[in-house]
Each structure stands twice: as structure tokens, then as C-alpha cells.
């Protein structure tokens, strides 16, 4: 017998499984003695998401031999939709079982005071796990809150999925553009001072990427706001996003390792040649001084603080 069991914070697992919703309902769970991987690719082979967690990322993890199963992630997300912050998730997968069992429990004085049990049938899937390795020479880092502001608050709504999403990275700024020819476009630019890092290889002045708006919008809008997103970019190569989510309840354990994610999105290799990505109009150049008379010409008043 080689049963698999794990225990973790339920709110953390809820965040993990919700990230796979925009990818595919079929998700592979790959259990190995030293780690667990959750992996899925969309039906058009454009979008891929992988989560990797070593055994130290869990409160308890027991796996003697590798086992790969496929589960409907939509059903799992429904089960995790109503949980309490202090709940624990306990997963059990028997050696010859055709179901994955999840218990959501609450403990009081080391005894279970509440228990909800869910059974998820294992699916026959056409997905085959592939380990991808990409060496991307260019990168930039940005906080997820700022990234989501650029993606979601550009005047782009759920109905605008048919539009394009264009990224241009230079040594001192990054530009996002969303829109559709003949309808309108929106641009957002950030100077490097707003980002954590921009690193382009020697001799590279500009990197441009064309992506599908739907995949960008669907995935990144569900990310937590406090992540540091590390992007690996190269012309005509997959757009790679790396980030980690740590379990706050395990931060006191030096051996605890966070859940690490790798998101890959295939670029669009052809667009209309007359698609305009230039900075037309008056425009504003990032980093230049802009005088606003009603603000900048006000006298500076020295603050004396409270007088006691």
C-alpha cells in the first residue's frame, strides 16, 4: 500500500486552486515523495500554469511513490468556496482508489470539532505533464497590485476579450497597450522607478510582446495584491511569470518552503502590419518635469507640529 496524505491551511489551498480556473477544468496533481505539483494547460495549448510545493510547505505530507491523477478543479473550487480562516485541509488518496478525499476540519484543543468531507472522482485525461525549461535573458519585476491596476483598470471590461494586449519594455520604462483596431486603445506606462527591476541583456534596447487579452485578464485578476511578479521575456518566446505564495502560518518554521508558480503564455506571432503602437499625439514623456502652476507655485509652509 502507498497511500498519500497531506495537511495544509485551507485558505492557502483555496488561493492555489482558484488560480487554475482560467486555465482548464482538468488539472493534474502529481504527488512525489519530496514534492507535490499541480499542473494544467489550456485546450488551445497557449496557456500553462504549474505550482510546485516541497513537502516542507505542508503541515504534513506523506507520499512513498509517485502518483499522477487528474481532478476537475471546478468541483474542488466549489468545495473550498466557503471555508473559515482557521480551517485545515486534509487530503487522502488511496493506492488503488478512484477518488480523492478532502476533509475540511476545525480543531479545538487538538480534537476535531467540525468536519466536512468531499470526494472527487479521478478523471481520465489527455493531459501529459511536461517539464518546460526556458532561458530568458530579459526580465522585469513588478508588484501584483500595480500590474493588476494596469491590466484591469485600463478601461477594459470582461466584454473586451477580443482585444489585443501589447507590452513594450525598454531599459527605463514599461508600456502596456490594450484595445482593438477601429474601436479604441488604452495605454499605460510606468517608469522604472515604479517597478522593482528592469533587466535587459547587453545590446537589447527594446523587447515587445503581443498577447491575447483574454488570457492576461482572466488569470491576473485573481492574483493576490501583495505578490512580487518576476517576468521573463523574449521576442517570440513564451511570456513567463514566476511568483511565490507563502503560508503565513508556517513563516515561523525555517524549513517551510512557499508554493512556487510558473505561468507561461504563448505570444501572438502575427498581427496586422498596420496596427499602431506608436506614441502619437502630444503624449507625456516619463521622467520629465511637468509644472502644474496651481500646485507647484504654492509657497511651502513649514510644518511646526502640535504645540503643547
How confident is the model over 177-233, as pLDDT tens digits? 876 666 667 888 889 988 899 999 998 999 998 887 777 877 888 888 889 999 999
Residue 260 has what pLDDT? 92
Same domain, 11 and 117: yes
Q: Give the chain's domain count.
A: 2
- Indicate whether 117 and 142 sit together in one domain: no
Residue 20's alpha-carbon distances to 61, 67, 133, 272, in angstroms, are 22, 20, 20, 31
Confidence band of 79 (pLDDT split at 50, 70, 90): confident
Max CA distance (Å), the chain: 79
> Facing residues of 228 across strands?
143
| Angle, vertex CA 251, rays to CA 62 and CA 139, nearest 5 | 95
pLDDT band for 173, please (50, 70, 90 cuts): very high
Least confident of 3-12, 63-72, 245-254: 245-254
Which CATH number goes with the domain that contains 223?
A: 3.10.150.10
| In a shared domain, residues 93 and 182 | no
Question: Does residue 153 sit in helix, strand or coil?
Answer: coil
Global pTM? 0.81
CA distance 154 to 220: 14
pLDDT, tens only, 20-67: 988 999 999 999 999 999 999 988 888 899 999 998 888 889 999 999
CA distance 240 to 233: 7
Sign of CA pseudo-dihedral 285, 286, 290, 294: positive
Alpha carbon distances (Å) from 135 to 50, 141, 208, 232, 242: 17, 16, 17, 8, 13
In a shared domain, residues 82 and 184 = no
Instruction: Supply 120's cell numbers.
Output: 472527487
pLDDT grade for 150, boundaries at 50, 70 and 90: confident
Task: Give pLDDT, residue 274.
Answer: 47
What pLDDT was estimated at residue 153? 65
Mean pLDDT of 3-19: 88
Q: What is the pLDDT of residue 253?
A: 52
Domain boundary among 233, 253, 276: 233
State yes or no: pLDDT of 144 exceeds 70.
Answer: yes
Query: Do residues 14 and 42 share a domain?
Result: yes
Can you point out the beta strands (E) in the chain? 4-9, 26-32, 35-41, 47-54, 60-62, 67-72, 88-93, 99-108, 111-121, 138-143, 164-170, 173-180, 184-191, 197-199, 206-212, 228-233, 239-245, 259-265
Contact 40, 48 (CB under 8 A): yes
**Residue 50: how many CB atoms within 10 A of its CB?**
21
Among 143, 130, 156, CA closest to 231: 143
12 with 110, same domain: the answer is yes
Residue 110 lies in a domain: yes
Q: Are residues 147 and 67 both part of a single domain?
A: no
Average pLDDT over residues 78-98: 85
Determine the pLDDT at residue 226: 87
278 pLDDT higher than 60: no
User: Of the residues 233, 250, 267, which one is the last residue of a structural domain?
Assistant: 233
126 part of a folded domain:
no
Decide: 264 and 48 in contact? Cβ < 8 Å. yes
Average pLDDT, the chain: 80
8 Å CB contact between 49 and 261: yes
More confident of the two residues 22 and 261: 261
Residue 114 has a pLDDT of 78
Please indicate, yes or no, whether residues 70 and 34 belong to a single structural domain of this protein: yes
233, 260, 291 - which closes a domain: 233
The residue among 192, 242, 223 whose CA lies nearest residue 51 is 242
Buried b (16+ CB within 10 A) or exposed e, 116-142: eeeebebeebebeeeeeeeeeebbbeb
Domain membership of residue 86 as a residue range: 4-121
Amino acid at each position: 500500500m502507498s497511500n498519500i496524505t497531506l495537511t495544509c491551511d485551507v485558505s492557502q489551498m483555496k488561493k492555489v486552486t482558484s488560480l487554475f480556473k482560467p486555465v482548464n477544468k482538468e488539472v493534474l496533481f502529481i504527488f512525489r515523495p519530496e514534492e507535490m505539483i499541480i499542473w494544467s494547460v489550456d485546450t488551445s495549448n497557449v496557456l500553462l500554469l504549474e505550482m510546485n510545493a516541497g513537502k516542507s510547505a505542508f503541515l504534513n505530507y506523506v507520499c512513498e511513490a509517485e502518483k499522477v491523477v487528474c481532478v476537475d478543479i471546478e468541483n474542488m473550487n466549489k468545495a473550498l468556496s466557503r471555508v473559515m480562516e482557521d480551517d485545515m485541509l486534509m487530503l487522502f488518496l488511496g493506492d488503488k482508489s478512484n477518488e480523492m478525499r478532502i476533509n475540511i476540519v476545525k480543531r479545538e484543543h487538538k480534537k476535531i470539532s467540525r468536519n466536512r468531507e468531499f470526494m472527487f472522482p479521478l478523471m481520465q485525461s489527455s493531459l501529459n505533464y511536461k517539464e518546460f525549461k526556458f532561458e530568458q535573458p530579459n526580465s522585469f519585476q513588478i508588484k501584483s497590485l500595480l500590474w493588476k491596476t494596469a491590466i484591469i483598470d485600463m478601461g477594459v471590461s470582461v466584454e473586451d476579450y477580443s482585444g489585443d494586449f501589447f507590452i513594450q519594455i525598454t531599459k527605463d520604462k514599461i508600456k502596456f497597450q490594450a484595445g482593438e483596431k477601429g474601436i479604441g486603445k488604452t495605454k499605460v506606462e510606468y517608469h522604472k522607478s515604479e517597478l522593482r527591476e528592469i533587466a535587459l541583456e547587453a545590446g537589447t534596447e527594446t523587447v515587445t510582446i503581443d498577447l491575447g487579452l483574454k488570457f492576461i485578464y482572466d488569470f491576473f485578476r485573481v492574483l493576490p495584491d501583495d505578490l512580487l511578479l518576476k517576468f521573463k521575456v523574449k521576442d517570440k518566446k513564451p511570456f513567463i511569470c514566476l511568483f511565490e505564495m507563502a503560508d503565513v502560518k508556517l513563516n515561523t518554521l525555517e524549513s517551510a518552503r512557499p508554493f512556487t508558480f510558473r505561468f507561461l503564455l504563448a505570444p501572438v506571432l502575427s498581427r496586422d502590419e498596420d496596427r499602431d503602437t506608436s506614441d502619437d499625439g502630444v503624449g507625456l514623456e516619463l521622467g520629465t518635469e511637468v509644472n502644474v502652476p496651481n500646485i507647484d507655485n504654492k509657497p511651502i509652509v513649514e510644518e511646526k507640529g502640535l504645540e503643547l
